[in-house]
Structure 1
Amino acid sequence: MTSFAHDFPFDPAHGRTLDELMTVPAPPAPDDFADFWQARYAAARKVATDPEIGPLEEERDGVRIHGVTYTSVGGVRLGGWLALPVESAEPVRHGFVIGHGYGGRQGAGPDVPLPLPSSAAILPSVRGMGARGLVAGIPEISSGHVLHGIESRDTYVIGDCVADLWCAASALEELVPELAGTGRMGLLGESFGGGLGALALPWDDRFAAAQLTVPTFGNHPLRLTLPCTGSGESVRGYHRGHPEVVEVLRYFDAATAAGFVERPALVAAALFDPSVPPPGQFAVYNALAGERELLVLPAGHFEYEGLPEQVAGLVAARRAFFGKWLGQEVSDTP
């Protein structure tokens, strides 16, 4: 069990050893879980995303980074960033949809460099998150965002955020048509984006592989019993006054969804995490039905000695993983 000095009023490891975390299960799926998500996916694929590339904003690490906008479900227009290879004559061999944590993103940031060379990527801001994802009526702060529309499975904002990733993939295929049908598209997500990624992945066969870092939304029944500093604490508070919300949360459980994931996935899960309880993270990994790899992190959402080395290790593992599953083996060296 990993232990760090901290001043949280609870144990961010929740008393679990690694052996115990490796046994955390996923909740059973509702009978119509797959039907619910397949219908949402089908609706998202019908959206005319009409992507538009903005001016060049940055050039580094072998890519040019542009602003981008596209349309998602409900006619919502969202923004983000598009990374394209600097060498325009070089064919694009891989594509990535890269989700973000709660709070959105301010730019491409540490998601560039991309996991593989000769790649293009779209880095969307999902609805309600960050300056490029703002939508009237949807709270921008995570504590409010995670509760928006939670009264019903059909109105819960998390479902539309998952669709925003699917529509981002459609926009990327339209902007980089050589990616369509190649089986060389990957999905990445961290924290909030990792939970969304687990929910998105089973139904979209355009993604050949996925990498999820400290994914949230895993095993909601257990999460409701575990204090944290992240969005889960808002859900816990709401549940105290509205216990019936458990029926909605059943459809948005990342661990339940992982049981339907048959494509390769790499999960980086933390032993100690004040924001996303580790048992939920490991529940996502444990439930994966296909080829899977696990990278155990000492901590998530927490600064500690040795963090830069851990980040470098994750970057190397991600490169090797996508190099294997997207059809181009890579070495461990940059």
Structure 2
Amino acid sequence: MFVDMPLPQLREYLPDRAEPADFDGFWDRTLAEARDHDLVPVFASVPSEVSTADVYDVTFAGFGGHPIKGWLLVPRHVAGPVPCVVEYQGYGGGRGLPIDWLLWPSVGYAVFVMDSRGQGAGGWRRGDTADPFPGTGPQTPGVMTSGIHDPDAYYYRRLYTDAVRAVEAARSHPRVSAVAVAGASQGGAIALAVSALAPGLACALIDVPFMCHIRHATEITGEHPYAELAAYCRAFKDQVEHVFGTLAYFDGVNFAARASTPALFSAGLQDGITPPSTVFAAYNHYAGEKDIRVYPYNGHEGGESAHTMEKIVRARKSLG
């Protein structure tokens, strides 16, 4: 069933943003601190059954200089540097195996797959990157409330910083030219944040993004992962305003208002995990060139293969 506002209302939905006064300073400081650590990207060629792409096991320095894993796949039979799509993971997923990432090389692009620190044990795609950050305090299962007592300690500060550094690592490879970012759900949230934090991207492919209009999301859906926030607030009733004060530094609507990267969004009108009004809140605030594909009878899976074709077409426009 449809789970949110009618589509005409969604297209006009432009809620007020709860934005910390030091939002820009917070992220400028965060990225400057990360860049105090040398990026030191390592691209180790690995044997693979993939015959159409050269495969590299990647390690680079993310937030705090912590080692972050990834994969780089470059089309084997394309001469010279090629455009690259940096791909981010959905909630609970990790980088998986190289065989999982053949789409972009099959259409002539490299793909740089960033592992998500501390995730990848959710049963669907394994991860290989620890999150060594200490002192995060009480939290619900999952990462949504990890460090939520302090924006500096919050999990997504580390993850979004890793994601910007992943773009920098991809750009450092001699076989990579222009760079785009892409992801769905949590990966869409990351791509949205990076579209504002990393200059010079060719485009952003942002599917059913999570972490947008967050407080509203907790009020209209009981689905996970937003349910983690509700559970935390049930336990810590005196901290509700503080919780959402922290989350304002990581809300996609605030990144959207700063983004200049050309973007293609997608939304499913039967999506109870990232309800469409949360997606449209970010889309309607998005400051850069933008378009959106809406799938009325789809949920969190979005447009599936039909939308994959839309993304390829959009990538061709931006990446060549």
**Which segments of 5 or more consecutive residues in structure 1 lack a partner in the other structure?**
4-12, 329-334
- Native 8 Å contact 2:60 2:169 kept in 1: yes
SS in 2 for 1:114: helix
1-structure distance, mates of 2:128, 2:184: 18
For residue 112 of structure 1, what is the aligned residue in structure 2?
A: 102
SS in 2 for 1:208: coil
Structure 1 residues 133-172: aligned runs within 5 Å: 133-136=129-132, 143-172=141-170
Structure 1 residues 43-82: aligned runs within 5 Å: 43-54=33-44, 55-59=46-50, 62-82=52-72
Is it true that 1:95 corresponds to 2:89 in the alignment?
Answer: no
For residue 272 of structure 1, what is the aligned residue in structure 2?
A: 270
2-structure distance, mates of 1:222, 1:112: 36
TM-score by length of 1: 0.83
Residues 249-276 of structure 1 show CA distances to partners (whole Å, capped at 9, x for unaligned) of: 1111101210111221000111111322
- Native 8 Å contact 1:258 1:285 kept in 2: yes
For residue 323 of structure 1, what is the aligned residue in structure 2?
A: 316
- How far apart are residue 113 of structure 1 and its match? 1.3
Pick one of 193, 197, 207 that aligns with 1:199.
193
- How far apart are residue 50 of structure 1 and its match? 1.8
1-structure distance, mates of 2:208, 2:140: 17
- Native 8 Å contact 2:88 2:191 kept in 1: yes
Q: Which letter maps to 1:204?
A: A
For residue 243 of structure 2, what is the aligned residue in structure 1?
A: 245
Structure 1 residues 217-256: aligned runs within 5 Å: 217-240=211-234, 241=236, 242-243=239-240, 244-256=242-254
Q: Which letter maps to 1:251?
A: Y
- How far apart are residue 74 of structure 1 and its match? 1.1
Q: Which letter maps to 2:318?
A: W
Residues 68-90 of structure 1 show CA distances to partners (whole Å, capped at 9, x for unaligned) of: 22221212112121111212x61
Go from structure 1 to structure 2 and tell me whether the alpha carbon gap of 1:36 and 1:173 turns closer, same or farther (over 3 Å shift). Answer: same
Go from structure 1 to structure 2 and tell me whether the alpha carbon gap of 1:228 and 1:22 turns closer, same or farther (over 3 Å shift). Answer: farther
Q: Which letter maps to 2:57?
A: G
- Native 8 Å contact 2:34 2:161 kept in 1: yes
Go from structure 1 to structure 2 and tell me whether the alpha carbon gap of 1:285 and 1:143 turns closer, same or farther (over 3 Å shift). Answer: farther
- How far apart are residue 212 of structure 1 and its match? 0.5
- How far apart are residue 285 of structure 1 and its match? 1.1
- How far apart are residue 109 of structure 1 and its match? 5.5
For residue 299 of structure 1, what is the aligned residue in structure 2?
A: 298
Q: Which letter maps to 2:264?
A: L
- How far apart are residue 246 of structure 1 and its match? 1.2
- Native 8 Å contact 1:58 1:66 kept in 2: no
Q: How many positions carry a matched residue from both structures? A: 303
SS in 2 for 1:299: coil
Is it true that 1:132 corresponds to 2:128 in the alignment?
Answer: yes
Pick one of 284, 287, 291 that aligns with 1:286.
284
Q: Which letter maps to 1:52?
A: V
For residue 202 of structure 2, what is the aligned residue in structure 1?
A: 208
2-structure distance, mates of 1:157, 1:311: 29
For residue 123 of structure 2, what is the aligned residue in structure 1?
A: none
For residue 73 of structure 2, what is the aligned residue in structure 1?
A: 83
2-structure distance, mates of 1:300, 1:47: 41
2-structure distance, mates of 1:67, 1:300: 33
**Which segments of 5 or more consecutive residues in structure 2 lack a partner in the other structure?**
121-126
Go from structure 1 to structure 2 and tell me whether the alpha carbon gap of 1:30 and 1:291 turns closer, same or farther (over 3 Å shift). Answer: same
